[in-house]
Amino acid sequence: MENIILKCEAINKSIRRKKIIKDVSFEIREGEILGFIGPNGAGKTTTIKLIIGLQKLDSGTIEINGYNIKTNFEKAIERVGTIVENPDLYMYMSGYDNLKVVANLYKGIDKKRIDEVVKLVGLENRIKDKVSKYSLGMRQRLGIAQAILHKPNLLILDEPTNGLDPEGIKQVRDLIKDLATREKMSIMISSHNLSEIENVCNKICIIQSGEILEETGIEEIKKETTNDEYVIEVDSSEDAINILENAEKISETKISIKVTKEQVPEIINKLVKNKIKIYGVIQNEISLEEAFLRKTGGNVIE
């Protein structure tokens, strides 16, 4: 079993007597990419700030690499990289000089490591340019480069694709996946972009009104919240819906029907007996966004 890198257990936080975080518990194992999702005001950013020590816990425990952040904060945080909201960059300096400034904050980061990170985030051709000339996507990748200079094994990103165009989103998404596999990094992503969470994460944690609703794998939550709905491709959808009860027409050659997996063979048999040609049967999977809406009772992410 993979090592537990981050463990939050029954953490609580109140601000001005209002309880913001309520007994929140979840964990991230080595190499996992966790999508931390929830409506606006659900407590995502507050939870992140508690994890990295920007706010103090009222109660509960947070352990990073086995170290408690209350009793051994320096050890707990030394292998953590973060970007909360926007990367902190000097616009008048080059990308390379920005990395050198960050490198000076740590011991043992040499030119070789800086060059390694520049290549990892794909900025080799522009690293000597001023950051003011960078696109938003390039600045985001430079921010990630800063966050991983000291070889963290936990990377925490708050809205990493916010404001990016499709190309920038793809670049950041591919980089995150690469870091998890090549660097064996555990990554926590707080994001409003559920389609991107679905594309990059292998696990999600849903928070609503400061409480955890669900912590599970992406595929598991989609299966848990989906109906048994199948799409069948046939030669004539009109003929098929006349034979099958509760079938609905999608197109001239496709129908959908809600049945259990065990009922699928008898549906196929019935169509074949009535000389309906069948070209394919697939289970109609719902998106993460649909699963999220069902779990939260329709609370959209704005």
DSSP 184-251: --EEEEE-S-HHHHHHH-SEEEEEETTEEEEEEEHHHHHHHH---EEEEEES-HHHHHHHSTT-EE-S
For residues 225-236, average pLDDT? 79
Ranges in the chain annotated CATH 3.40.50.300:
4-79+152-223
Q: What's the pTM value of the predicted model, to 2 decimals? A: 0.79
As a whole number of angstroms, the distance between CA 215 and CA 212 comes to 7
pLDDT tens for residues 92-127?
Answer: 999 999 999 999 988 889 999 999 999 989 999 999
249 contact partners, CB below 8 Å, separation of at least 6: 237, 238, 241, 255
Q: 185 with 154: CB under 8 angstroms? A: yes
Cα 210 to Cα 22, 38, 114, 299, distances in angstroms: 5, 9, 39, 14
Binned at pLDDT 50, 70 and 90, residue 194 comes out as: confident
For residue 263 the two structure tokens come to 């009922």
Neighbours of 43 (CB within 10 A): 23
Q: Alpha-carbon distance 277 to 255, whole Å?
A: 13
59-87 pLDDT per residue, tens: 999 999 999 999 999 999 999 999 887 78
pLDDT at 182: 83
pLDDT for 238 beyond 60: yes
30 near 5, Cβ under 8 Å?
yes
Q: Are strands 59-64 and 4-15 parallel, antiparallel or unpaired?
A: antiparallel
CA–CA separation, 153 vs 160, rounded Å? 18
Residue with tokens 């902190």: 88
Find the distance separating the first CA and the last CA of the chain, reported in whole Å: 37
Residue limits of CATH 3.30.70 in the chain: 227-284
Q: Identify the CA nearest to 152 among candidates 119, 181, 186.
A: 186
Question: How many angstroms separate the CA atoms of 126 and 183, rounded?
Answer: 23
The whole-chain average pLDDT of the chain stands at: 87
4-79+152-223: CATH homologous superfamily?
P-loop containing nucleotide triphosphate hydrolases (3.40.50.300)
CATH for 227-284?
A: 3.30.70
Half-sphere exposure (Cβ direction) of 101: Cα atoms closer than 13 Å: 13
